[in-house]
Amino acid sequence: MKLEVEKAKRLFMLWAETERFEQKVAEAKQIIESALARYNKPYVAFSGGKDSTVMLHLVLQYKPDVMVFLWDYGKYLLPRKIFKEILNIADTLKAHNLRIETTNAYLLLKDKAHNIKGSVLLEHIIPSLKNIEGYDCVFVGLREEESLKRRRRMHAQKNITCIPEVWPLATWRWLDVWAYIFKHNLPYISIYNLYGPLVGWDKARFVSFFDHFQFPVGMSNRSYRLWLPVLCTFRGVAFNSPWECRIGLT
């Protein structure tokens, strides 16, 4: 795996030298500058994934004291090993104004606590951020390339909450994201080094780590069987068969 990661890194570093990549970075910076000039109190939605890590690094260059919002899915859906890495990423990037939110529902429902984040954020936290604390903009690391549904929403400038969203990486490709990470030597969660070579760096998405039944579209059955033991290891459970891999209490 280590050799495959080094090969990929060399490829991404070459892409980082291209004019097209530099244009993408310049566009992202312009979007951030325009948003900071327009809005009074923005914050950054940070997940610890590759896209939000890149976006956070960019925004911090302009507003070092920006509030960084991190949602904790709880130990039953997000292994503590990975959550600790996420916290280390924020610390390395010097996100000093880090705010972590969660809900007790994760402790009560454990690995069955699906779709909890949306209801809690939409009904309680986001309205409070806007109406009580005065936040008027959120930087989100969405990219059009990720799905047709997302592309349509972004083209329509449709926000999913009452706070306007800004997407600095809207037109970036996965190659741009990894090129930026390696060019600037940014930290990223270590599981990508296992996930990328196995399913492809273009399909390595952090969202897939939360659900043991979910795996990226396009992954072959063979790759899925290879991936499951890795997933179980990070969740701290023994792997016996594809149907016995369950979320661990790590």
Token pair, residue 210, equals 């939360």
Q: Name the pLDDT band for 224 (thresholds 50, 70, 90).
A: very low
Question: What average pLDDT does this structure show over 194-212?
Answer: 73
Cut 0.85: pTM above it? no
Q: Is residue 111 part of a domain?
A: yes
Residue 138's closest CA among 107, 117, 164? 164
| Residue bearing tokens 């549904």 | 149
Domain count, the chain: 1
Token pair, residue 240, equals 């016996």
Q: How far is CA 57 from CA 32, 50, 76, 170, in A?
A: 12, 11, 29, 16
pLDDT at res. 196 = 87
Question: What average pLDDT does this structure show over 216-225?
Answer: 44
Q: Is residue 89 part of a domain?
A: yes
- Over residues 45-71, the pLDDT tens digits come to 999 999 999 999 999 999 999 999 999
Residues counted in the chain: 250
Q: Is residue 227 part of a domain?
A: no
**More confident position, 52 or 203:** 52
Q: Which amino acid is at 250?
A: T
Q: Name the pLDDT band for 214 (thresholds 50, 70, 90).
A: very low
H or E element that contains 70: strand 67-71
Cα angle vertex 245, ends 242, 248, to 5°? 170
Give the β-pairing of 42-46 and 67-71: parallel
Q: Is residue 247 part of a domain?
A: no
Q: With 0-12 CB in 10 A as exposed, 13-18 as middle and 19+ as buried, what is 78? A: buried
Q: At what angle do helices 174-183 and 19-38 cross, to 10 degrees?
A: 90
- Over residues 12-32, the pLDDT tens digits come to 999 999 999 999 999 999 999
Q: Is residue 207 part of a domain?
A: no
CB 75 within 8 A of CB 161: no
Cα angle vertex 67, ends 66, 71, to 5°? 145
Q: How many other CB atoms sit within 10 Å of the CB of residue 123?
A: 10
CATH code of the domain containing 22: 3.40.50.620
pLDDT at res. 1 = 64
pLDDT at res. 115 = 75
- Domain that residue 151 falls in: 2-190
Q: Is residue 230 part of a domain?
A: no
Residue 128's closest CA among 37, 43, 36, 38? 43
Q: Is residue 63 part of a domain?
A: yes
Q: Is residue 224 part of a domain?
A: no
CB 237 within 8 A of CB 111: no
Q: How many other CB atoms sit within 10 Å of the CB of residue 206?
A: 21
| Residue bearing tokens 């039944």 | 213
- Over residues 111-129, the pLDDT tens digits come to 787 778 778 888 899 999 9
Question: What average pLDDT does this structure show over 93-100?
Answer: 97
